[in-house]
Structures are given as structure tokens and as C-alpha cells.
Structure 1
Amino acid sequence: MTNLVFILADDLGYADLGCYGGRVPISPRLDKLAAEGMRFNNAYSNSPVCSPTRFALITGRYQYRLRGAAEEPMTGRFRGSTEVGLPPSHPTLPSLLQGAGYRTALVGKWHLGYPPHFGPLMSGYESHLGPLSGGVSYFSHVDRAGKHDLMNNGEEIHRDGAYMTDLLSDEAVKVIEQRAADKQPFLLSLHYTAPHWPWETRAQGGANPQTDADIRHLDGGSIHTYHQMIRELDEGIGRVVDALDAGGLGEDTLIVFTSDNGGERFSDNWPLVGGKMDLTEGGIRVPCIVRWPRVVPAGSVSEQHVITMDWTRTMLEAAGVAPHADYPLDGASMMDVLARPEADFARELFWRMKHEDQRALRDGNWKYLAIGPNEYLFDLSKDERERANQAKREPERLARMRARHAEWNASMGPIPAEARSENVYTLVDMPAR
């Protein structure tokens, strides 16, 4: 049976990695992973913010189908909520695989609701080590509310001074070594917090009280610190891949690496504009690398449009596990594309975001984008930077895509009036229509 490893970076920009044109050599192991597998040029996250993308990943469905995915369950006001979280009754990638005999582990960030009503062990993972909230200190492991947030199988643990990226890499290697020894198929979800704020590197050596007091670290960080955080993320991923190969598991392990949304303040998204919180390309187009030596041609590149929830269906198909009949998946399988990069297919991708009332649809080369009352139409094959608005030149296409988005949006149900994101960012300056 095929082993499955899904590695999720947090707030990584589209062009931060060398294999995506990065301007600084900070990702040798991820670049090597791309050289040994497939790089997707048109990969997207389900949302321009963290938690909704994770709902889509674990369920394989548009996150808008769940009440909890309308906002980000990050801070104390969501602790004890019975609404904002992933219902344990909902089938998930780990629960479906677990039912088919897979061992399942989440190492890293959960961010899908708090106990006692929600948690990794209630939704198909047999083990979990990592934080429950959105952003934590890399050394003291406190969240934005000042609450210590490092859990091991539902129990709070303290490893003060351990650098979070290394702590998660160590645990992931341990899981792989255990699975290699017991020779059971497994799903490892490795969800790093890096390179999400606060801006802290291994060399810092310990907690910074000033940073812990303002976890978002709005007055701190630098491009150099950010680059080092990516280097340390890259090193950890290299260790994970090495453990797979050393255990004789590499040949038939499907590894997927991507980011939960577009880059944040220090990220490189070139040539895209915008970033986290935006439905411009910089907020939702992300790096995505797949290695599966038995199936994926080394050094291949795909132009296929792929979105986070597609990997749920793909991994289930790779494992020979059927989705739950009562919860049809919205994602598409990438199995044919992985074997033959030229086997791409047409499809529509939809987004909506309450922040600034944003709406987007990608269909082929064309993208419809609405920000409040302003509407845009871009041919991304010629204008990845979304600077040349074709709305007046292509009124029929604009009307058609607007209507198609409205039709899809109606099928998802309304966004609750009280829903809001915990983050506040400034939307990229876009010219009025």
C-alpha cells in the first residue's frame, strides 16, 4: 500500500523557493524534491487564509460547506465554541484512511477548533503533537492569547526552549522510523508553523518576552530572519525525506508539499501581486511539489490548475480508499497528471472572502475578480500580475463569469453575518474599474 506524507508550510510565498525563481538560495532540499518529482506552476490554496484551507484539505470539500470554516479559530474567544471547528462526525482524509487500515499522525498545527468539542484525535488522527491555534511562539509555544499551546495526544506538554520547527521535524522523523519498523501503511500530515510569524530563528536560542507579548511581531522581523526560517524549514523537510529513503519507504511514498495560503509581509510572490488575505494571485497561488518515484517522472513540470482539496481525493485514490458516499468530494484527482504531466484538464476554481467582500473564479486562462463593487477580468496567460483589466473589452465574458460565480456561491450557502477573520491586513491597492 502507498504511504502518504502531506507537508504544509504556513504563509510561504509563491516565489520564496529556488525552484520557483527565488532570488536567494534558501531551499536546497525542496529544490531537490522538485528535481526528483513534479512542480506545479498553477497550484492554489483553497483560501487566502490559514484555517479555511485546512478545512478544505482534511475534508476534500469546499470549506464554505462548513460553518466553522467561515472564520479562523485562533484566539481565546473560540475556546469552548461548539460551532467554530471541524465536526467529529464529518468524514476526513485521516478517518477514511484509518478505516482502511492506515496509521494516521498529525505532526504540527491543527487550527480546526478547540477541545472539548473539536480536535485531531476526534477526526481520524491516532496521534498528534503540535499546537492547536494559528500562531505560536517558536520557543515558549504561547499563542496570541498568551496561553501555552503545545499538545501531545490531547494533553498539554512543555518543551520550553525547543525550536518549534525542529521539534516538529524531530517528531515526524520518529513517526516515519516507527512506521518503517512496523511495516504498516501510514498517513503523516506534517503541518509546520514556519515561516508564519513571529519572526524567530533557531539562533535566537530561547523565548523573547517582547515577542511573546505581541505574537504577531508587527514591529519585528526582517527579510533575513524570514529567509533563515525557510532554511530551517527546508532542513527539516530534508530530514523527513531522508528518513523515508533510509527506511526503504521512499519509492512508494506519495509526498505532497505546498502552502496553506499566499505569502505574508516578507514573502516573495513575484511576479504575482497581493498576499495573504487577498484573492489576488499572490494570496492564493502557492508553491506545490510532489515526489512519488514509482509514479511521478523526475524533473517534470505541470501547468494543471490544482487546489488544496484536490490532494484529498488524490491521496484517497492512491490508497484505494473510496470517499464517503454522503459527503461527495469537491476536489479532483491528480493521479493521471502525476503519471503524465501533459494530461492536464479544464476545470473551474472558485473562492469567496468576506474580508473586503472578495470573489474570484478561475476558468482556463481567465480570472474573474471582484472586490466590493469593483470588478476585474484578467487573462493570466498574459498578465499574471493582474494589472490589465479586460472587463470593458470583454463584457460578455465578464457577465458570464460573474453569473457562474453567483450560481456557485448560491450553492454554498451564506457566510454568517458574525463571521470575521482574526487577522487584519491591507488589501493590495487595485484600481477602480
Structure 2
Amino acid sequence: MSLHDDHKPRISRRTFGGAVGAGAAAAAVGLPATEAAASTHPAPKERPFRAAPDRRPSRRPNILFILGDDLGWADLSSYGSPHIKTPNLDRLAREGVRFTHSYAGSATCSPTRFSLYTGRYPARTKGGLAEPIADRTVGLDPTHPTLASLLRGVGYSTALIGKWHCGYLPDYSPTKSGWDEFFGNFGGALEYYSKLGLGGEYDLYEGDAEHKDLRYYTRILTERARDYLHRDHDQPWLLNLNFTTPHWPWIADGDTEESAEIVRRVKAGDKSALWHQDGGSVAKYTEMVEDLDRSIGEVLRALKESGQEQDTLVFFASDNGGERWSYQWPLSGEKASLQEGGIRVPAIVRWPARLNGHQVSDVPHFSPDWTATLLELAGARPHPAYPLDGTSLAGYLLRDEELSERDLFWRVRGERALRRGDWKYYQGKSGKDQLFNLAEDQRELADKATDEPKKLSALRAAWEQTNSGLLPYPA
């Protein structure tokens, strides 16, 4: 495999090949291999992807879908971080497939979750227009089919542990949208010990009732997930495990004094306290990400102990790009932007029964594709009145089928983007149309709009056509 000057691995869209070790991760972000070697494992021999028809047939998989919160594209050591060590997620990548061009469905928390839960563009629904949801007037309509409700319809048990952020009680809740069980928080952020949310409300629930537990939140979610996996399951299951780590406030396990100060400010009416603009550091962020990695390691060990590892598809990703302390080189932009740093995320899938390990894919895809993929693998069909915007990757992953080129579309207030193959059309808040070749310029600095006017026009027209079928933003 050769590497171009802009560090993008040139891999066939039909094949996986490569490594998640130090050399590959470092090259992907322009670091010397020796600089990343301390936090990664030696690179296995690269090999092209091959479906595994010789493997024993697997029953419908259990699905463990893990989301980090505001985790940047290169915040894992297997993605090139020179200072953050994530051995458990690196191991998950070695045992499965690491994606280098995986995208969130949007640039902030709740619209991405809408896109994942529905398999559709966020702007198909009123609640998805909030970027992100910050009040109690909108949410995911309980009558809208979801990944959970459709899987439950074909015999899956369903649970969501962690951050929901798709609406508040009494009108909106995971238990109203297809999940049999819910334990977690409704809002977009909470203080890790007190569980106080952005409005100063207590925000930890079991089902639709408050649950009191003042321990560090990541510990609680990890414990709940382990308990779920250790149960006796007599049917396949979906577990959405949505951590809030490493979302602000920048509080690691043990930072009780910092927690107490933020709580004091919240109770005094400081509505910006949880934003924690006067806190955090690279070191603190590193501590939080590494704690997330340890927690996921505990969950994966529980899965193995339960005897379900072989037939469980584990997927890990972030809900959008990172911010402030995140490491995203060489991408530009961050959370809330449609530049690459705002929407490209780390993503890993492992399914021992069906997928070989030590593989890397550069196939561009986004959150709604995983909805379509999981529905197909589970034997569920989308509701005909709510067609999916995602494309299933099952044929590509399991049957070595060509994944035809298609458009990936994004829209947020003041920005627009569309990716087709290596080309990306982008319009930022300046209103200027720009065109980038991501194969040569992942950093989005070499604007080809003047050089490629026909391509720019075609991609802009495609964006306009898709946008015309979506709900407008409220005035």
C-alpha cells in the first residue's frame, strides 16, 4: 500500500487491507512511526479484505453499539494520537475492521443520534432540526420507526444505557421509541458526579423515573453495561451504550473538588457552568479518553465472560468530531462544523463469527448506513412509509460485493457539504462554494472550485436536490 503526500491510504473501495499498528496509524496522520510506537502495537502484515464464507454460519448477531461523545477522529492511538493510549480500542480494531473514512450523520450530538436511530437524514424530522436539542419542545416522535423498534419487531430485546439526547419527558424517551429498557440521561451534557444537567435539573433515570447515584458517571454506565451482558439472554439483543465521555465538563474520575465547584456555580444560576470554559487541559482530556478506553475494555471482558463474544457484532464510533482539547490532525474544523474535523470520526467493527481481523477500510460511509446494515443483518425491514437514507454495508462486509459510489449529504445551519467519491463540496458560513479532493487534500485547504467548475456545479446541484426534500429550518 502506498501513501500519498496528504497521508490518505489509497485502498480499493472493495477491499480491506492494512494495519492498525504504529506505522500505519502514524503514517495516516503524518507522524513518524517511532513517535506513535509507544502507544500502539506492531503492525500485522497487510492483506486485502476477503469475506469469510468458510466460517461457520452465524445466527443473527447480538449488537453492542458503543458511542463516545465528542471524541475526535485521531484521539485513539490506533488512529495516530501521539499522547493518548487506548489499548482496548486498539485491540478491538486489530480483531476487526478499522474505518478511516467513517462519518457522523451530523456535526453535533442529537442530530447524529436521530440519523442513527432512524437511518434517515436528521432533517427528515422536526426534532432533527435542533442542532442540538436544548429545550423540551422537540424530540424523536414515538410513532417514528427506529432501529430499536424495528429490531424488537423481529424478536430482539433492546436496551439503551447512557446518553439519549433525543427529547425529554414526558413526551420523548427511549422507552417510547422501541427500547425495552433505558438507564441514563436525557440531556446533552451533565456533571459527572451530581448528574445535574444544563438547566440545573437532575438527569439520571432508570426507565422514566429518577435514579439516585452520585458516583462518577462513566463508572455507573460501565457497571450497568456489564450487568446487562452477564444476564441470561434467550433471544438476540441490541444494546446501545452511549457514554458521555469525553464531553465537557472536563472532570475525570476522582476530581471531586472540581465537581463541587461546578455544582456550586450551577446551583447559583450560572447556565454556562457545565461548558467549563475555564477548565480542562490536554492532560485532563487524555485522562478522560483513556478512562473511556478502560471502561470499554471492562465491557468487552464482560462480553467475553458471558460466552456471547463470537456472535456479537461490536461497533464503536464517536457521535461527531472533537472540540477544544481533541487531536484531529490532519483534519480541519471541529464539532459543529461540516469540515472533516467536525464529522469524520473513528469507527471500528468486530464480529468474530463473520469478519476477519487486522483490516482497515477507506470506504466513505456515515451513521445511517449502519442503521441499514444492522437491520439487514438482523432480518428486519424498514417501514415502507419511512424509507432509509442509509445504504447497507452488509454485502460489502460479508459477500465481497461492490459498494457503488453514492453521495453522502450533510446540512447544518449556515453550512452544507456533500461527498461523492474523493470529492467534497463544502459551503461554510462565508457562503463561498468550495471543492476539495480529499484523496489529495484531507486538510481542505486546496480549493479546486475554479479548476473544476463542472464538478462543483454537479455536486452543488446534487446537494440542492437532496435538500429540497427535507424540512426547512424554523425561522
> Is the TM-score greater than 0.5?
yes
Distance 1:19 1:25 in 2: 10
Deviation at 1:120, TM superposition (A): 0.8
Which portions of structure 1, spanning 4 or more consecutive aligned residues, are displaced by more than 6 angstroms? none
Q: 2:115 aligned to 56, 68, 80, which one?
A: 56
Distance 2:178 2:401 in 1: 35
Matching residue of 1:266: 325
Q: 1:174 aligned to 224, 227, 232, which one?
A: 227
1:406 aligns with 2:459: no
Matching residue of 2:203: 149
- The structure-2 alpha-carbon separation of the partners of 1:30 and 1:343, relative to structure 1 and needing over 3 Å to count, comes to farther
Matching residue of 2:410: 351
Distance 1:74 1:403 in 2: 29
Deviation at 1:245, TM superposition (A): 1.2
Matching residue of 1:294: 353
Matching residue of 2:418: 361
Q: 1:164 aligned to 217, 227, 230, which one?
A: 217
- The structure-2 alpha-carbon separation of the partners of 1:285 and 1:342, relative to structure 1 and needing over 3 Å to count, comes to farther
The 3-state SS of whatever aligns with 1:149 is: coil
Whether the 8 Å CA contact 2:84–2:289 is kept in 1: the answer is: no
Deviation at 1:413, TM superposition (A): 2.9
Whether the 8 Å CA contact 1:305–1:347 is kept in 2: the answer is: no
The 3-state SS of whatever aligns with 2:427 is: strand
- The structure-2 alpha-carbon separation of the partners of 1:315 and 1:94, relative to structure 1 and needing over 3 Å to count, comes to same
Whether the 8 Å CA contact 1:301–1:341 is kept in 2: the answer is: no
1:323 aligns with 2:382: yes
Distance 1:409 1:332 in 2: 18
1:201 aligns with 2:258: no
Q: Which runs of 5+ in 2 are unaligned?
A: 1-59, 266-272
Distance 1:208 1:241 in 2: 29
Matching residue of 1:420: none
Q: Aligned Cα RMSD in Å?
A: 1.4
Matching residue of 1:104: 158
Whether the 8 Å CA contact 1:314–1:334 is kept in 2: the answer is: yes
Look up the equivalent residue of 2:177 and give its one-letter code. S
Distance 2:459 2:304 in 1: 46
CA-to-aligned-CA distance 1:43-71 (integer Å, 9 cap, x gap): 00011111000000100111110011111
Report % sequence identity.
46
Deviation at 1:183, TM superposition (A): 3.0
Q: 2:180 aligned to 120, 126, 134, which one?
A: 126
Distance 2:213 2:254 in 1: 17
Distance 1:282 1:342 in 2: 30
Whether the 8 Å CA contact 2:159–2:181 is kept in 1: the answer is: yes
Matching residue of 1:275: 334
Matching residue of 1:216: 275
1:252 aligns with 2:311: yes
- The structure-2 alpha-carbon separation of the partners of 1:206 and 1:141, relative to structure 1 and needing over 3 Å to count, comes to farther
CA-to-aligned-CA distance 1:81-130 (integer Å, 9 cap, x gap): 2xx10000001011111121111100000100111111111001111111
Distance 2:404 2:151 in 1: 27
Q: 1:2 aligned to 49, 57, 61, which one?
A: 61
Distance 1:6 1:63 in 2: 19
Look up the equivalent residue of 2:128 and give its one-letter code. A
- The structure-2 alpha-carbon separation of the partners of 1:319 and 1:5, relative to structure 1 and needing over 3 Å to count, comes to same
Distance 1:182 1:261 in 2: 32
Whether the 8 Å CA contact 1:48–1:279 is kept in 2: the answer is: yes
Distance 2:133 2:337 in 1: 19
Q: 2:235 aligned to 181, 184, 200, which one?
A: 184
Deviation at 1:412, TM superposition (A): 1.2
- The structure-2 alpha-carbon separation of the partners of 1:98 and 1:402, relative to structure 1 and needing over 3 Å to count, comes to same
Matching residue of 1:431: none
TM-score, with structure 2 as normaliser: 0.84
Matching residue of 2:454: 396
Whether the 8 Å CA contact 1:51–1:69 is kept in 2: the answer is: yes
CA-to-aligned-CA distance 1:220-276 (integer Å, 9 cap, x gap): 000111111111111111111111111111111111100110001100111101100
Look up the equivalent residue of 1:43 and give its one-letter code. S
- The structure-2 alpha-carbon separation of the partners of 1:116 and 1:253, relative to structure 1 and needing over 3 Å to count, comes to same
Q: Which runs of 5+ in 1 are unaligned?
A: 418-433
Deviation at 1:206, TM superposition (A): 6.3
Matching residue of 1:31: 90
Distance 1:72 1:351 in 2: 12
Instruction: Tell me whether 231-240 or 189-198 shows the greater mean CA deviation.
Output: 231-240
Paired residues in the alignment total 407
1:11 aligns with 2:11: no
Distance 2:376 2:405 in 1: 20
